[in-house]
Structure 1
Amino acid sequence: HPGLVAVADTPYCRVAVTSMADQVTVYTDNALAYETEGHEAAGLVHTTALQVDAPRRILVLGGGAAGLVREALKHHPEEVTYVDVDRRLLELVIPRLPDDDQASLRSGTVQIVIADPRRFLDRAGRYDVILLGMPEPSSGQAGRYYSREFFRQCAAHLAPGGALGFRMRSSENLWNQVQAMRAASVFHALESAFPDVLVLPASESVFLASNAPLRRDPAVSIERLECRGIESPLVTAPFLRYLYTNDRGPQIARRIAELPAIVHTDGRPIGYQLSQILWLSQFFPSLGTASPALSGLTQDRIAAGDQGGRRVRSNRAWRAFLAVLALMLAFAGSVVFRRRGLARRIVLVGSAATIAMVLESVLILRYQVHRGILFRDIGTLLTLTMIGLAAGAGGVDRLTASGSEASHRRSGPRTISLLTGGLAILAALVGVSAALPATHGLVATGIGLFLTGALVSAIFAQATRTQTEDPTRVIAPLYAADLCGGCIGSIAAAVVLIPDLGFGPTSWIMTVLALGSVILSLGSTGRALPAP
């Protein structure tokens, strides 16, 4: 980064700060977080606060150092509470901010709280204005601040007649299909928590929500702007009049409201997938017009934007299709590979690797969504996974050493059946626990990762000893199957299964696939492979 003045690793991200002339720019994980010369903070704060008669208590969740606190103080509140999860980031950034930003954060009206915003809301009071300064939902960590569950938390702590506001990068004039779908997924999440929601399109569109009717007449906001004596280079009477009365607003509102997109939730973070597709569309423009079928829409026909009104499958049909397909493949494999021991074992190892990788993705992403501190704990979680891998393979080796090789060749298929059955039980437990937030902590997630690693490595180790007197003949193809299966599972989980179906249904599909592997393993004949 040109002009780099500071860089540090925090428990949540890597922070880099640059300074050129009077502009300070902050990057988190090499992505632009905010800079001090823009006017986006003023647009969000004033548009939201002018919806409220008297914003006495203002809550700022993230982004306070980006100017939200400075602009919020212009409404003369009695109290501004700024909540940020990353103490190290603030210690690095605040001393390098312009003088007016530093002064606003040191004001006696401002209280800075270092805490996870979602946990803070569990014990917070009521606020007249809630401002979200979080990054876009382009990761599991950021996406947790745009979910239905989070918005319901905010609604519970919003005073009567209060307003919530945040902004999302979009396009002022024309939204492609993916932009509209992402906005719709967040819009519908807001609708599930607030009776009135309004979107004001711009290069960074402002989303407003309230437990009372929002004022769409700019005259009210203009009058309050003048009465409060607010001076802003961006937010002026003509700006507010244009923002509320231009013809793009109603068009975008109709398109978002009519587009039957999935609601962004903790258990189904569809905004994560759509943000990634939107970013990729900068390099592959055709992705911007991708079919909404990728998002598992729940209605038969796309109401807006989908050329030709193509029909899409419902979530239920999609899940049923995957489940039936898994069973069909299992039965077909059992027949086709019944007399082909090596091919059968390749399929078993590959499917076990796929299941394990999907379950690991579910467990890790679920932990990040509910705790928001994956960067700090990822080393611990991966260590537990590796310990499980070592324990599973070591357990099989110890078991083999305790008896004759012939007896283990005879009992090998039964052992693999038990191990794949254990993988099915684990997948089912992960599916059940998806609706139990108490099971999403570090201990439960670590145990799940340990068991996943132990089972998949035990299956691999046992497969090398089943039906052959020379394990070295099968290690290479089985290892290749293990790597390919893990690759397939990783891509499927990140791109399709978790965003489209959510944590619970994804785990249940893996349960069905594991049961199919059990059926396939029962087709073993126990014969040794012929000598080379």
Structure 2
Amino acid sequence: MHTSRVLPGLAALLLALLAWPLGRTLHWTTLAWQWEDALLVRDTIYGRLTVVGRNGQRVFFQNGLLMFETQSTFPEEVAHFPLLEHPSPRSVLLIGGGAGGDLREILKHPVSEVHYVELDPAVIEAARRYLPPEDRAVLDDPRVTLAHTDGRLYVKNIGRRFDVVIVDLPEPSTGQLNRFYTQEFFAEVKAILNERGVFSFGLPSAENYLNPELRHLGGNVYQTLGSVFSQIIVLPGDHNRFIASDAPLTTDHTLLASRLAERGLTGPDGTRWVSAPYLKYIFTTDRFPQLRRDLESEESARLNRDLEPICYYYDMALWLSQFYSGLSGFFHQASLLNLWWVVVPLALAVLVLRWKRGGAVPMVIAFTGFAEMTLEMVVLLAFQALHGYVYHEVSLIVAAFMVGAALGGGVMNRLIAAMRAPDAAGSSASGERWARRPLMVLIVAQGVAMLYALALPPVLLKAAALPWPNLSFPLIILLAGFLGGMDFPLAAELTRASALNSSKGSVGRVAGLIYGADLVGACLGAFLSSALLIPVLGIPQTCYAVALLSLAGMVLLV
């Protein structure tokens, strides 16, 4: 007996001692499967930074998305096109991309100051360590002001204006990145531009042909940008460059070429790629007017907004189309989803279950599982859209949800125990009254959950404006977890009583059915809310759909 207790302990101690020296080796061995030439892999509170190097070239990735690479002419297009559109740029705001060459190219113009915003300080630390000397040197240029903060927060709080604002970030593939392509952000940028100010950013594209997914993504951003700025130019290429302003923009390549020469950018220290011939090619090729026609003809039912992040759905469809091209029609039809698509099948399901008079409680628990996971995704994505980075906040929000569920279940178990206790008279009428109480409490819980879902969108907006969103958002989801945690003990109590009073099955079988219904609902909620409901319907309408689920649960139980 003594030996059986000691051996497992010794085995655990031996594994711990082996893991300590071998941990780093195992870490790099597993990373090598994905990053063969990784020079640096570092987790920060903002994400996972990876630096890959081969033959003198350095490539930076954040959370698996390409940030920038050296030995590329891409920074020339990012910097020179918007700066040449401005007749005399002096002040520039750059969000992202500075360490990858954008700063180097911007400083070739006669600018007096460049404010460079890079969220993660680890990016600059890695740049100083791994980039070539000429790229590192620009970080210490006296004209450069470096800020480690969220780009949107910087734009909102800077309190001054710029001649040119350039955003060089990956495409809107996440809620965090999508917020730099929304109507709200474009309006915030417009507010900090000088009278002839120019704004520029890019999106992935194709040189000669836009497939439906590229058209949806580019067209939606084009329309969203057009709702804020009166003048827009889109330059064709593997990356479309969007240039916007409320002042007239020129497409005269000779004027832009003359500005290039006036600023001394045609000599040996000038540009390698953006030259007078290249400017002529960009503005006179058939692709230039055709791209504009393609984007203008793309009809979209909604603009890209902070709480209606349709662009990250389009980006997801674009990524999936590379592997499953046959699903193009499905993605387009799914993008037309509206709230009626939820109302009609839900009403039919309620009618069928009411007619059959069976399965109400398991279905309510499935609805609850779906609703709870959807609300958790809503809070996570709302935090990302309204506050920024969510990488280190995920664990706190998920933990708050689980704590809320545990508290809700614990409180309800105590209440159920009190309901089971007979009163002093011990009459049968009293027992029947107590037996009905779990059902009444479950109906009330569904009603409270419905009110919670209806109130959630404005509450999220107010929480984002509070000084401590890292605390307010977990508290919001803690309440959602509490409401969901209450439902399972109530459903278990109802099915326990049903099983004891009938021959339909044992208590264990019915409880297993409830647990399975909860898991199926939660699984569907996590998948459908993140991939379809939130990006297509938007956060407010997704919350209304959750409220409809709670209402359907009340109708089933009455």
TM-score by length of 2: 0.86
Question: 1:80-159 alignment to 2 at 5 Å?
Answer: 80-124=114-158, 125-159=160-194
Which residue of the partner structure matches residue 292 of structure 2? 253
Which residue of the partner structure matches residue 403 of structure 2? 387
- Letter matched to residue 101 of structure 1: D
Structure 2 SS opposite 1:74? coil
Contact 1:172 1:202 in 2 (8 A): yes
- Letter matched to residue 297 of structure 2: E
- Alignment match of 1:12 (pick from 34, 41, 46): 46
CA RMSD of aligned residues (A): 1.8
Structure 2 SS opposite 1:146? coil
**Higher share of residues assigned helix:** 2
Question: 1:100-499 alignment to 2 at 5 Å?
Answer: 100-124=134-158, 125-230=160-265, 231-261=270-300, 262-288=302-328, 290=330, 292-296=332-336, 318-336=338-356, 338=357, 340=358, 343-404=359-420, 408-433=434-459, 436=462, 437-438=464-465, 441-466=469-494, 467-468=497-498, 469=500, 471-499=507-535
Deviation at 1:164, TM superposition (A): 1.0
- Letter matched to residue 340 of structure 2: A
- CA offsets per residue over residues 480-529 of structure 1, 9 Å max, x none? 1111101111222122211111110111121122111111111xxxxxxx
Deviation at 1:66, TM superposition (A): 1.3
Contact 1:178 1:289 in 2 (8 A): no
Structure 1 SS opposite 2:145? strand
The separation in 1 between residues aligned to 2:330 and 2:488, in whole angstroms, is 38
The separation in 1 between residues aligned to 2:451 and 2:518, in whole angstroms, is 21
The separation in 1 between residues aligned to 2:243 and 2:216, in whole angstroms, is 18
Higher alpha-carbon Rg? 2
Any gaps of 5 or more consecutive residues in structure 1?
Answer: 297-314, 523-532
The separation in 2 between residues aligned to 1:411 and 1:137, in whole angstroms, is 49
The separation in 2 between residues aligned to 1:198 and 1:514, in whole angstroms, is 47
The separation in 1 between residues aligned to 2:275 and 2:162, in whole angstroms, is 25
- Letter matched to residue 545 of structure 2: I
Deviation at 1:457, TM superposition (A): 2.0
Which residue of the partner structure matches residue 52 of structure 1? 86
Deviation at 1:273, TM superposition (A): 0.9
Contact 1:327 1:512 in 2 (8 A): no
Deviation at 1:115, TM superposition (A): 1.3
The separation in 2 between residues aligned to 1:379 and 1:196, in whole angstroms, is 43
Which residue of the partner structure matches residue 2 of structure 1? 36
Structure 2 SS opposite 1:500? helix
Deviation at 1:88, TM superposition (A): 2.2
- CA offsets per residue over residues 161-213 of structure 1, 9 Å max, x none? 12111111110100001101101111112112211111111011111111211
The separation in 2 between residues aligned to 1:49 and 1:349, in whole angstroms, is 58
Structure 1 SS opposite 2:58? strand
Structure 2 SS opposite 1:69? helix
Contact 2:66 2:170 in 1 (8 A): no
Deviation at 1:287, TM superposition (A): 3.4
- Alignment match of 2:61 (pick from 9, 27, 31): 27
Contact 1:465 1:471 in 2 (8 A): no
* Closer/same/farther in 2, CA of residues 224 and 290 from structure 1, 3 Å limit: farther
- Letter matched to residue 142 of structure 2: G
Which residue of the partner structure matches residue 75 of structure 1? 109
- Letter matched to residue 488 of structure 2: F
TM-score by length of 1: 0.90
Structure 1 SS opposite 2:85? coil
- Letter matched to residue 265 of structure 1: R
Deviation at 1:330, TM superposition (A): 2.4
* Closer/same/farther in 2, CA of residues 267 and 26 from structure 1, 3 Å limit: same
Is 251-260 or 84-93 further displaced after alignment? 84-93
Is 76-85 or 443-452 further displaced after alignment? 443-452
Runs of 4+ in 1 over 6 A off after TM superposition: none
The separation in 1 between residues aligned to 2:330 and 2:448, in whole angstroms, is 39
- Letter matched to residue 508 of structure 2: T
The separation in 1 between residues aligned to 2:332 and 2:416, in whole angstroms, is 51
Contact 2:127 2:136 in 1 (8 A): no
* Closer/same/farther in 2, CA of residues 408 and 476 from structure 1, 3 Å limit: farther
Q: Percent identity?
A: 29
* Closer/same/farther in 2, CA of residues 408 and 68 from structure 1, 3 Å limit: farther
Deviation at 1:82, TM superposition (A): 0.3
Deviation at 1:448, TM superposition (A): 2.2
The separation in 1 between residues aligned to 2:386 and 2:141, in whole angstroms, is 32
The separation in 2 between residues aligned to 1:293 and 1:277, in whole angstroms, is 12
Is 225-234 or 149-158 further displaced after alignment? 225-234
Contact 1:218 1:240 in 2 (8 A): yes
- CA offsets per residue over residues 9-55 of structure 1, 9 Å max, x none? 11111011122222111111223222112111111110110000111
* Closer/same/farther in 2, CA of residues 126 and 442 from structure 1, 3 Å limit: same
Structure 2 SS opposite 1:207? strand
* Closer/same/farther in 2, CA of residues 333 and 25 from structure 1, 3 Å limit: same
Deviation at 1:435, TM superposition (A): 5.5
Which residue of the partner structure matches residue 504 of structure 1? 540
Count residues with an aligned counterpart. 498
The separation in 2 between residues aligned to 1:193 and 1:499, in whole angstroms, is 21
* Closer/same/farther in 2, CA of residues 457 and 123 from structure 1, 3 Å limit: closer
**1:519 partnered with 2:549:** no
- CA offsets per residue over residues 381-409 of structure 1, 9 Å max, x none? 11100101111111121112224265653
